[in-house]
Amino acid sequence: MSDTKHIQDESKLKAFEEALKKAFQNDAEAQYELGNCYFYGEGVGQDEEEAVKWYEKSATQGNAKAQDVLAYCYYKGQGVARDNKKAMAWWKKSAAQGYVNAQLNLGNSYTRGDCVKRNYKQAVIWYERAVAQGYAAAQSTLGTMYIFGEGVDKDCKKAAEWFEKAAAQGYAEAEHNLGLCYLNGDGVARDFETAKEWLRKAAAQGYENAKKVLKELGEEAEQDFEEALNLLKSAASKGHEGAKKLLEALD
């Protein structure tokens, strides 16, 4: 074992022991941290059921982070039987406290329509609360809602603005989406070079869809916007979901 790994293991063990001591003193934050130790197997053997037990103790005391992750456990059925109603109930509690990740998760649930009946307008309400806190993931998702007119009037300009806000924070999905906006001229003037610049940023972070689009465009492609659109159609015909959706939005 390397010295670095040994130090890391010692640090995780110490964090576990400290969280365990405080958790038994009914410290809600420590209970949440102890849940994380069990969930990820840090300083102790991984045990999702034990993690859920501590998340629930913390969540019951009102810890918003614990409420959010407990909802996730119920949604995924990790460490506990899957229960969509309980997932929604805990996400609502956490989101009502202003916890931004829960607001995003709640919005996503209304968008997917899996834990609750699909309701795009309700989803947008929660996305907007999250973007008010500058949350990049929510900004990108809200941009998508504007692209397709889901829960809001279709507005490609607003979509591009939200993608740009999230992309400015280095959020890869938004960088990709903004690149496609410049490629198509959705809400912005078509600009092939700017499109490739944003796609490259997303690809550099490992965002696979951006890599696929860049491959289709090719570094030697002519800077011809009509040709770029044809290449986007080619990507869609080969199963590129992002390209398909943006082409649908152009109809």
The dihedral formed by the CA atoms of 101, 45, 31 and 19, expressed in degrees to the nearest 10: -120
- The encoded tokens of residue 196 equal 């490739």
CATH number of the CATH domain containing 126: 1.25.40.10
Per-residue pLDDT, averaged over 213-218, amounts to 88
Higher pLDDT, 129 or 2: 129
Q: What is the pLDDT of residue 89?
A: 98
Residue 113: band (very low, low, confident or very high) from pLDDT cuts 50, 70, 90:
very high
Q: What is the pLDDT of residues 134-157, one digit of tens each?
A: 999 999 999 999 999 999 999 999
Task: Give me the residue label for tokens 């740009």.
Answer: 164
56 and 66, same domain (yes or no): no
What is the domain extent for residue 46? 1-61
Q: Which of 39, 61, 83 is the last residue of a domain?
A: 61
Q: State the pTM of this model.
A: 0.81
- In a domain, residue 144? The reply is no
- The encoded tokens of residue 168 equal 């400015």
Q: What number of H helices and E strands is found in the chain? A: 14, 0
Q: What is the pLDDT of residue 250?
A: 58
162 and 244, same domain (yes or no): yes
Q: How far apart are the first and last CA of the chain?
A: 59
Q: What is the pLDDT of residue 21?
A: 96
How many domains does the chain contain in total? 3
181 and 226, same domain (yes or no): yes
178 and 210, same domain (yes or no): yes
Instruction: Supply the Cα-derived Rg of the chain in whole angstroms.
Output: 22
- Treating both helix axes as pointing N-terminal to C-terminal, what angle do 192-204 and 225-237 enclose, rounded to 10 degrees? 40
251 and 170, same domain (yes or no): yes
168 and 241, same domain (yes or no): yes
99 and 175, same domain (yes or no): no
**Residue 89, number of CB atoms within 10 A of its CB:** 16
52 and 71, same domain (yes or no): no
Assign 3-state DSSP to the chain and report helix, strand, coil percentages, each to 5.
75, 0, 25
